[in-house]
Amino acid sequence: MTLELSRLAKTYGEFTFGPVDLTVGDEVLAVLGPSGSGKTTLLSLVAGIAEPASGSILLDGRELVGRPLEDRRVGMVFQEGALFPHMTARENVEYAAVSDERVADLAATLELEGVLDRRPPTLSGGERQRVALARTLAADPDVLLLDEPLSSLDAPIRKRLRDELHDLFASLDIPVLYVTHDQRTATALGDRLAIVGDGTLEQVGSPSAVLDRPASRFVARFTGTENLFEGTVAERTGGDILVRVGDVRFQTAGSTVAESAVPGAAVTVCIHPSRVELEPLDASVDGGAEQANAVTGTVARWLNEGNEYRIDVEVSGGLTLVANVRPPTFERLGVDIGSEIRVLAPRESIHLIPDSGESR
Ligand code: ADP
Ligand code: MG
């Protein structure tokens, strides 16, 4: 199946969604964006809950716009899987099922056997979402839409169900649009990510492409690239670019930046905190001399974020580089506020966004 959105647009008062062009094949597209950016609007248009102002939605070449919801063969799962409370779980799943085998298969896959005779109000949040998913899939939809289906669940259940969804999606051969505002869920489940910001698609690509090579400052910020610096291209040799940010120099390795990054051009240097390396000062071979991508700085603060430590290092010119390190690294470094430390940004970790005049 191929879902093809062309110039799809919708307006609600001040809010404009689109126009959006997007093609989704038999894959999981994780739709990630802040609250109010238009994620639910996108799903509602595909499902037929809302009609677009303009544009088209083709499913294997068949136009969905203008068709009633029940003709679309689009299944949708909501944040709180809207089940019929007066029916048992089994009756809910059977409601629009294509066959008894389908119901039995889904009950087995989603481990529902033990709860089929209970009514939704007696089920846990995780069980309710499994039943909602089974009910939607029982109708054998051509497209599956999920709108933050795990966000009302507790963390351990959410993680378990997320892992199960990963396996379940792999067995489905249809386009799946999975809306979430949680980056981990998006990268874990998505074959590709679509980043939505204020009604527009900011970037669509593989998780690593979006995370490592954000197309805009919005995407960089939203996906956790805290090191964003305004710089100027100093030199360009082949694909490699030397950028100056104040008196700190960053050397890229084979940059994918457009030809516009010529000497003198303004660019934004992006370095994800997880790519920044820290070294004790005395371990540096060159004794702390300034060179491209390596500077000496002062630890300004650190924060224990559970799985990792976040360390802010002030380097020359008022620049602060943020590094995320694993607990063993943190302990080995013996990080103290006010102490001097060596900061390295490997060439491969540096991504440049050309300055197109978009607000920083
Ligand atoms: P998200 O799901 O990303 O949080 P939504 O798509 O729900 O965002 O909403 C995007 C914007 O559209 C919001 O400003 C919201 O208030 C508005 N909106 C969504 N649905 C409607 C509606 N049915 N009527 C009026 N405004 C709406
Ligand atoms: Mg929403």
For 213-260, the three-class secondary structure string (H helix, E strand, C coil) is CCCCHHHHHHCCCCEEEEEEEEEEECCEEEEEECCEEEECCCCCCCCC
Cβ 48 vs Cβ 229: under 8 Å: no
44 Cα: distance to centroid of ligand 2 (angstroms): 10
Task: Reply yes or no on whether the pLDDT at 273 is more than 60.
Answer: yes
Q: Where among 221, 250, 282 does a domain terminate?
A: 221
Give the CATH number for residue 290: 2.40.50.100
Q: Whose CA is nearest to atom 14 of ligand 1?
A: 36
Looking at the chain, the number of H-run helices and the number of E-run strands are 9, 20
Q: Whose CA is nearest to atom 25 of ligand 1?
A: 12
Does residue 306 sit within a domain? yes
- The predicted pLDDT at position 222 comes to 94
What one-character DSSP code corresponds to residue 158? H
Task: Reply yes or no on whether the pLDDT at 85 is more than 70.
Answer: yes
285 Cα: distance to centroid of ligand 2 (angstroms): 52
Residues with CB under 6 A from ligand 1: 12, 15, 33, 35-41
Residues 6+ apart with CB under 8 A from 137: 75, 102, 106, 144, 172
Instruction: Mark whether 160 and 200 lie in a shared domain.
Output: yes
Q: What is the pLDDT of residues 73-84, one digit of tens each?
A: 999 999 887 899
Q: Whose CA is nearest to atom 11 of ligand 1?
A: 36
- Mean pLDDT, the chain, whole residue set: 92
Cβ 352 vs Cβ 213: under 8 Å: no
Does residue 39 sit within a domain? yes
Number of independent structural domains in the chain:
2
Instruction: Mark whether 108 and 46 lie in a shared domain.
Output: yes
Instruction: Mark whether 234 and 344 lie in a shared domain.
Output: yes
Tokens matching residue 45: 């248009």
Q: Where among 174, 199, 221 does a domain terminate?
A: 221
Which of 17, 40, 78 best tests ligand 1's pocket when mutated (most atoms within 8 Å of CB)? 40
Q: Whose CA is nearest to atom 26 of ligand 1?
A: 12
The confidence band for 281, taking pLDDT boundaries of 50, 70 and 90, is: confident
Average pLDDT over residues 278-291: 67
Instruction: Mark whether 193 and 258 lie in a shared domain.
Output: no
Instruction: Mark whether 37 and 158 lie in a shared domain.
Output: yes
Which of 11, 12, 20, 78 best tests ligand 1's pocket when mutated (most atoms within 8 Å of CB)? 12
Instruction: Mark whether 180 and 323 lie in a shared domain.
Output: no
Does residue 268 sit within a domain? yes
- The predicted pLDDT at position 155 comes to 86
Instruction: Mark whether 207 and 235 lie in a shared domain.
Output: no
Instruction: Mark whether 212 and 178 lie in a shared domain.
Output: yes
Instruction: Mark whether 177 and 267 lie in a shared domain.
Output: no
- The predicted pLDDT at position 359 comes to 47
Average pLDDT over residues 147-167: 90
Average pLDDT over residues 295-299: 94
Task: Reply yes or no on whether the pLDDT at 360 is more than 50.
Answer: no
State the helix-helix crossing angle for 155-171 and 125-138, rounded to 10 degrees: 20
Task: Reply yes or no on whether the pLDDT at 357 is more than 80.
Answer: no
244 Cα: distance to centroid of ligand 2 (angstroms): 41
- The predicted pLDDT at position 258 comes to 65
- The predicted pLDDT at position 283 comes to 61
Give the CATH number for residue 161: 3.40.50.300
Average pLDDT over residues 14-37: 97
**For the CA of 194, the nearest ligand:** 1
**For the CA of 49, the nearest ligand:** 1
43 Cα: distance to centroid of ligand 2 (angstroms): 9
Provide the percentage of residues in the chain whose pLDDT is more than 70. Answer: 95
Average pLDDT over residues 152-173: 90
Instruction: Mark whether 272 and 246 lie in a shared domain.
Output: yes
Q: Which helix (H) or strand (E) holds 45?
A: helix 39-47
Domain interval for residue 277? 227-354
Q: Is the pTM of this model over 0.75?
A: yes
**For the CA of 35, the nearest ligand:** 1
Nearest atom in ligand 1 to 37's CA: 3
Does residue 176 sit within a domain? yes
Q: Which helix (H) or strand (E) holds 193?
A: strand 192-197
For 322, the 3-state DSSP assignment is strand
Phi, psi angles (nearest 5°) of residue 317: 75, 25
Nearest atom in ligand 1 to 50's CA: 23
Residues 6+ apart with CB under 8 A from 41: 10, 12, 15, 17, 50, 199
Q: Where among 221, 247, 276 does a domain terminate?
A: 221
Q: Whose CA is nearest to atom 23 of ligand 1?
A: 12
From the list 214, 264, 263, 257, the residue with the least C-alpha distance to 239 is 257
Instruction: Mark whether 243 and 180 lie in a shared domain.
Output: no
Q: Whose CA is nearest to atom 20 of ligand 1?
A: 41
- The predicted pLDDT at position 67 comes to 95
Average pLDDT over residues 10-28: 97
**For the CA of 13, the nearest ligand:** 1
Q: What is the pLDDT of residues 184-228, one digit of tens each?
A: 999 999 999 999 999 999 999 999 999 989 999 999 999 999 999
Does residue 360 sit within a domain? no
The confidence band for 139, taking pLDDT boundaries of 50, 70 and 90, is: very high
Q: Whose CA is nearest to atom 19 of ligand 1?
A: 41
Does residue 242 sit within a domain? yes
Instruction: Mark whether 167 and 55 lie in a shared domain.
Output: yes
Task: Reply yes or no on whether the pLDDT at 358 is more than 60.
Answer: no
**Total residue length of the chain:** 360
Q: Which residues of 135-153 are buried (b: 16+ CB within 10 A; e: fewer)?
A: bbbbbebbbbbbbbbbeeb
Does residue 264 sit within a domain? yes
For 153, the 3-state DSSP assignment is coil
Does residue 359 sit within a domain? no
